[in-house]
A and B are shown apart, each in its own frame.
Chain A
Amino acid sequence: MKQYFRSAALTTAVLLAGGVSLAHADSVTVGLQLEPPHLDPTSAAAGAIDQVVYSNVFEGLTRFYGDGSVNPGLAKSWQVSDDGLVWTFNLQEGVKFHDGTSFEASDVVFSLDRARAEESTNAQKALFSTIASVEAIDDQTVQITLSEKNGNLLFNLAWGDAVIVAPESIENIKTNPIGTGAFKFADWVQGDAITLERNAQYWGTPAHLEGATFKFISEPSAALNAMMAGDLDAFMGFPAPENLALFEADPRFNVLVGSTEGETILSTNNKMPPFDDVRVRKALAHAIDRQAIIDGAMFGYGTPIGTHFAPHNPDYVDQTANSDYNPEKARALLAEAGLGDGFTTTLKLPPPSYARRGGEIIAAQLRDVGIETEITNLEWAQWLEEVFRGKDYGLTIVSHTEPFDIGIYARPDYYFQYENADFQELIAELGAVSEPEKRSELIAAAQKTLSDDYVNGYLFQLAMLSVADSRLEGLWVNAPTQASDLTSVRWMK
């Protein structure tokens, strides 16, 4: 009898161990805050789409790695003509789309022509603006001809908005995305989760994972509970920085702290009085204590910035001293602008906690120098409608997460309504230059211009905060683009 018990216990133990390792060996459940509206990254701005499909399902000619570098993707190599206008891409061989159709040069022509077409709804058409034509030389070779030199071409082609899609499957791409990636789309339960499975016919290094499920949890406290309960193996972009200490103290979890391309700014309506006066904008900048906002809203995670540029970029110029915290100076500037008695403006806040909490802190700091703010909390849809498209706001807080997006300041119709001919010229010049030194110089000049014009209140670079099971490896720590690349993720033995 005793013997029986012992063997029974042993069997149970073996079964349990086997069960646990099985559950973990082959798949992963990843939490994300936002559910994508659909799954076509080439026809909408929503970063939530790329968060699921980038590199997992869809690939471009080039692709970002987690360190931000641009690497060969579906193009294995390329040559540039001496005048820099003709780019010849040699494509990977033996690549098949998930529906079995083969990937050829004609698919590249189709994808890029579709993205840059007049009626295209691609969210980043500017990426393709210098492309004059795309031609298939043979099945494995594509030639892109530019209308002017573009030093950013390989970088631009790595974006989720420039991935390669197939004409055969384009009709249902929004609900049934067919790409060339290491994972195939399997299922989407609206409002809950998207499931991917390993692509057995993948042309490159196959994924370690058999499958992956993305679960959408917008509520920060629900995200915390799901991680703690073990329902999720990882959460990319964890929404509640105040809880990271809990995960850090728990050996079951790893906390990944990296950087994003998100410049978090106090966007200012440059056309709306009194913000059309640079002295008022300068006063705003000096009234803001960045460190208090980082500590209060982000629990210390984030790097102060003084202009619209990512501090981890080698071309970054530290302009924070230009707008240091100095309420005395802010009051003096306001008095100089004839607003010694202060004024009232609106502060419209989208849902993320950096905005909601940061907004309350900024409201208190502005009140200290005599600027009263009326806070309105908005949902994303309302924010896009009223602030981003309607330009009906005084101040707002938002993180601009696109990589290398300083060019938005050259668009006078953009929602901060900043119009500066010199700056627009700088950006135009930058687009045409590919010598690294000259580019660095222009980028530095652009950063200084924004800082000296105090276009917006520059707060901090948003940190990428993720939590993962400590046995999981290969997740991106930084977010050079919005993505949850799972192709090299695996469970440690």
Chain B
Amino acid sequence: MRITDFLKSRNFVVGKILTTIFCLAALISFFWTPFPVDGVDIPNKLQAPAWPYLLGTDHLGRDVLSMIMAGARVSIAVAVLAVGIGMLVGVPLGLAAAANKGKLLDEIIMRGNDLVFAFPSLVIAILITAIFGASAVNAIIAIGIFNIPVFARITRGGALSLWERDYILSARVAGKSSTRISLEHILPNVMNLLIVQGTIQFSLGILAEAGLSFVGLGVQPPIPSWGRMLAESQTLIYTSPYLALFPGMAILLTVLGLNLMGDGLRDLFDPKLREARR
């Protein structure tokens, strides 16, 4: 796979550009935003987009552009950590299940996964934050938990076919334990799958964070969040529609970018499609 392959995939390029823009915005917001993010300034409230407030100000006079930049940081942080939890727990579970295919451990892991999977993801998240209180940490844990079965399944699925390969057989004959085989041979070969799935889960994580914040169960004020910005703009939609438009666009473009990138990666990693392209 060469770098030119990546550049040939239009999906990947567009997705990568969109994602990079938002990651950059998030990074820049750490040391610079046009206005202070929590700068309540009542006399300047509800200014329509114009210089110096490029995207306008909200009902408390805060600069929307600054809030979207800082909101990107929150969205990305929550999604990265949530996907991280999902991977850290889900991947070992999937590997263990595949290594013990058909045995009791496999059954326990996979039925447990089914149980978590059976609940609608956002409902679990709402349940967790409602019980333990609304905060960024609880939102991360909540979103992370419903990422676990996704990664466990995809890892197990990928690993099962690998366990039938000859080189695994020879490793077993050589006396390697199934744990070592899982880590040294199986894991590197399911990495592609995990990266593609991770990108897609990442975008779902951003959506979930926005959803939780929309109903007030995500990060708490004054930390800005795209979901809360949308919620707060609801009653102002007739008078100041831009307040809903910009955070909505931010969510849309980020999720679109991540999905396009995920699609592009999948195509690139798929050997059949790669052959076809050559």
Neighbour of A240 across the interface among B40, B134, B235, CB < 8 A? B235
Note all chain B residues with C-beta closer than 8 A to A375.
Answer: 220-222
With an 8 A cutoff between CB atoms, is B237 at the interface? yes
Residue A220 at the chain B interface, CB threshold 8 Å: yes
A377, B235: Cβ atoms closer than 8 Å:
no
Q: Please report the total number of A residues contacting B with Cβ < 8 Å.
A: 24
Taking the complex as formed, is A407 at the interface, i.e. its CB lies under 8 A from any CB of chain B? no
* A295 part of interface (Cβ distance < 8 Å): yes
Interface residues of B in 210-253 (CB under 8 A from A): 216, 220-222, 234-239
**Contact in complex: A376, B235 (CB < 8 Å):** no
Among B45, B216, B221, B239, residue most surrounded by chain A Cβ atoms (within 10 Å): B221
How long is the Cα–Cα vector from A377 to B222 in the complex, in angstroms? Answer: 11
Known: A361-B40, A361-B42, A377-B134. A242 touches B216 (CB 8 A): no
B216 partner residues in chain A, CB cutoff 8 A: 377
Interface membership of B157, Cβ < 8 A = no
A339-363 vs B, CB cutoff 8 Å, 1 = contact: the mask equals: 0000000000000000011011101
Bound: A356/B40 CA distance, A: 14
User: Which residues does chain A contribute within 8 Å of B236, judged by CB atoms?
Assistant: 242
Q: How far is the CA of A295 from the CA of B45 in the complex (A)?
A: 9
Question: Which residue of chain B has its CB nearest to the CB of A291?
Answer: B42
Q: How far is the CA of A220 from the CA of B235 in the complex (A)?
A: 7
B60 touches A221 (CB 8 A): no
In the complex, chain B residues whose CB is within 8 Å of the CB of A357: 59-60
Bound Cα distance from A386 to B108, whole angstroms: 40
State whether the Cβ of A172 lies closer than 8 Å to any Cβ in chain B.
no
Known: A296-B40, A377-B216. A360 touches B234 (CB 8 A): no
Q: Chain A residues near B239 (CB, 8 Å)?
A: 242-243, 245-246
Tell me if B61 counts as interface (CB < 8 A to partner A): yes
- Taking CB atoms, residues of chain A closer than 8 Å to B38 are 363-364, 367
Interface of chain A residues 237 through 251 with chain B (CB within 8 A): 240, 242-243, 245-246
Q: CB of B133 within 8 A of chain A?
A: yes
Q: Is the CB of B235 within 8 A of A242?
A: yes
Task: Note all chain A residues with C-beta closer than 8 A to B34.
Answer: none
* Chain B contacts for A295, CB-based, 8 A: 42, 45
Interface centre among B60, B133, B216, B236 (most CB of A within 10 A): B60
* In the assembled complex, B39 has its CB within 8 A of some CB on chain A: yes
- B222 interface neighbour in A221, A240, A364, Cβ under 8 Å: A364
Main DSSP-derived SS at the B contact region: loop
Max chain B C-beta neighbours (<10 A), residue from A245, A359, A360:
A360
- Closest B residue to A243 by CB, please name it: B235
The answer for the CA separation of A73 and B107 in the assembled complex, in Å, is 73
Considering only CB atoms, which chain B residue lies closest to A363 in the complex? B222
- Closest beta carbon of chain B to A460's beta carbon, Å: 14
Looking across the interface, which residue of chain A has its beta carbon closest to that of B233?
A221
Find out whether the CB atom of B42 lies under 8 angstroms from the CB atom of A296: yes
Question: A224 on the interface (CB 8 Å rule)?
Answer: yes
Q: Mark A360-374, 1 if CB is under 8 A from B, else 0.
A: 110111010000001
Contact A296-B235, Cβ < 8 Å, known A360-B40, A364-B38, A375-B222: no
- Complex Cα distance, B220 from A359, in Å, reads 12
Complex-state Cα separation, A240 to B238, whole angstroms: 12
Q: Which residue of A lies closest to B135 (CB)?
A: A376
Q: Point out the residues of chain B lying under 8 angstroms from A240, CB to CB.
A: 235
Chain B residues, Cβ within 8 Å of A173 = none
A243 to B216, CA, bound (A): 22
The residues of B that contact A224 with a CB separation of less than 8 Å are: 235, 238
Interface residues of A in 79-105 (CB under 8 A from B): none
Residue of A with least CB distance to B61: A296
* A377 close to B220 (CB less than 8 A): yes
SS class, residues of chain A in contact with chain B: helix
Q: Is the CB of B221 within 8 A of A221?
A: no
Minimum CB–CB distance from B10 to chain A (whole Å) comes to 39
Q: Are B59 and A359 in contact (CB under 8 A)?
A: no
Q: Is A475 an interface residue (CB 8 A)?
A: no
* Contact yes or no, B133 A376, CB < 8 A: yes
CB-CB under 8 A for A360 and B220, given A220-B235, A224-B235, A242-B239: no
Query: Is B237 within 8 A of A360, CB to CB?
Result: no
CB distance A243 to B238 under 8 Å? yes
Residues of A within 8 A of B235 (CB): 220-221, 224, 240, 242-243
Asked whether any CB of chain B lies closer than 8 Å to the CB of A427, the reply is no
Q: What separation, in Å, do the CA atoms of A246 and B239 have in the docked complex? A: 8
In A206-241, the 8 Å CB interface with B consists of: 220-221, 224, 240
Assuming the contacts A242-B239, A364-B38, asked whether A359 and B221 have C-beta atoms less than 8 A apart, the reply is yes
Task: Determine if A364 and B234 form an interchain contact, defined as CB atoms under 8 angstroms apart.
Answer: no
Judged by a CB distance under 8 angstroms, whether A292 is at the interface is yes
Q: Are A221 and B59 in contact (CB under 8 A)?
A: no
Chain A residues positioned under 8 Å from B39 (CB to CB): 364
A357 CA / B60 CA spacing, docked (Å): 8
Cβ–Cβ < 8 Å partners of A374 in chain B = 220
Query: From residue A449, how far is it (CB to closest CB) to chain B in Å?
Result: 31
**Chain B residues near A364 (CB-CB < 8 A):** 38-40, 60, 222
**A364 vs B39: C-alpha distance when bound (angstroms):** 7
| Contact status A360-B221, CB under 8 Å | yes
Contact A377/B60 with A242-B239, A296-B42, A364-B39 known, Cβ cut-off 8 Å: no
- Give the distance to chain B from A176, nearest Cβ to Cβ, in Å: 33
B61 in contact with A246 (CB, 8 Å): no
Residues from chain B with a CB closer than 8 A to the CB of A221 are: 234-235, 237
B window 109-152: CB within 8 A of A:
133-134
Q: Is the CB of A360 within 8 A of B42?
A: no
* A361, B239: Cα distance in complex, Å: 21
A residues within 8 Å of B by Cβ? 220-221, 224, 240, 242-243, 245-246, 292, 295-296, 356-357, 359-361, 363-365, 367, 374-377
Top 8 closest A-B pairs, CB basis? A364-B40, A240-B235, A221-B234, A296-B42, A292-B42, A220-B235, A221-B235, A295-B42
A sample of 28 cross-chain residue pairs with beta-carbon separation below 8 angstroms, ordered by A number, consists of A221-B234, A221-B237, A224-B235, A242-B59, A246-B238, A246-B239, A292-B40, A295-B42, A295-B45, A296-B42, A296-B61, A356-B221, A359-B221, A361-B60, A363-B38, A363-B222, A364-B38, A364-B39, A364-B60, A364-B222, A365-B40, A375-B221, A375-B222, A376-B133, A377-B134, A377-B216, A377-B220, A377-B221
Sample of 5 further A-B pairs with CB below 8 A, known A221-B237, A295-B45, A360-B60: A242-B236, A245-B239, A296-B42, A363-B221, A377-B221
